A = this chain, B = another copy of it.
């Protein structure tokens, strides 16, 4: 195996190109898979995706405001008003006026809302677990570690765009 420096370089570049294409395909497939899952979830729980996402924002927090929901969902406040309108119609949330500040509406989950949120959370945990249990413990560690660094690398590239 005698190679010149140029040959090695050219080979490395071709390899990188191949790996790039591979990465692109894999990421695209995984994202697509996740989107399908979200559509499935939406149908399973008979809730629009936006309302599902909103529902899952209430972790421990008892109350959220329209503004804070908008920030977490990364959408306009007006969109949140519309989403909450739907959720209220379904009896998932209730809006009350803040006694301290008349501008603020305090949004909280109803008992039904909490029930649904728990169901959805359990489902999501379940399917992610089903992915993991297909692997041995050391593989699971590797997967998590790789995704961690990959995510970081993706964020770096994203920062470089703007």
Contacts and interface: CB of A to CB of B under 8 A. Distances in A.
Interface stretch (A60-68, A86-94, A103-111, A120-128): A120-128
Interface in A42-95: none
Contacts of A150: 30, 131, 143, 147
A135 to B, nearest CB: 7
Contacts of A129: 16-17, 20
Report the interface size class on chain A.
35 or more
A130 B160 contact: yes
A3 interface: no
| Dominant SS among interface residues on chain A | helix
Contacts of A4: none
12 contacts: A15-B137, A19-B132, A19-B140, A20-B125, A24-B124, A26-B144, A27-B34, A29-B151, A130-B157, A130-B160, A131-B150, A146-B147
Given A40-B161, A161-B40, A151 B30 contact: yes
Contacts of A156: 134
Given A26-B151, A146-B147, 10 more contacts: A16-B129, A17-B129, A19-B141, A20-B125, A26-B148, A27-B128, A30-B30, A33-B158, A131-B157, A134-B156
Nearest to A134: B153
